[in-house]
Amino acid sequence: LQYYEMSYGLNIEMHKQAEIVKRLNGICAQVLPYLSQEHQQQVLGAIERAKQVTAPELNSIIRQQLQAHQLSQLQALALPLTPLPVGLQPPSLPAVSAGTGLLSLSALGSQAHLS
């Protein structure tokens, strides 16, 4: 019985993800014509790349984001307690661009299609 409940819950979640992907694709299709030619090419490239993301790559992306989030939380806790000596800068995290965010969202959607 527990297996069927888990299976049903997973199936519902996959349908939700597929619906989200469908809606995001629709939004991208509506917004794309308003972008400059250069940005259109970047978005189309990110979308195509996202369609090719494999499950291990997706897990790696999620793991990296979780680690970056945890690191930023630790830094936020540590910075007020330990002021840096004059001239030293705190370590910085890589910037997340719109393309990276879109890739992550699209990756999640393509995972829904893989299963």
Print the SS3 string covering the chain.
CHHHHHHHHHHHHHHHHHHHHHHHHHHHHHHHHHCCHHHHHHHHHHHHHHHCCCHHHHHHHHHHHHHHHHHHHHHHHHHHHCCCCCCCCCCCCCCCCHHHHHHHHHHHHHHHHHC
pLDDT tens, 32-80?
999 999 999 999 999 999 889 898 998 999 999 999 999 888 888 775 5
pLDDT tens, 77-103?
775 555 555 665 555 544 444 444 545
Q: In this predicted structure, what is the pLDDT of residue 110?
A: 46
Q: In this predicted structure, what is the pLDDT of residue 114?
A: 46
pTM, whole model, 2 decimals? 0.47
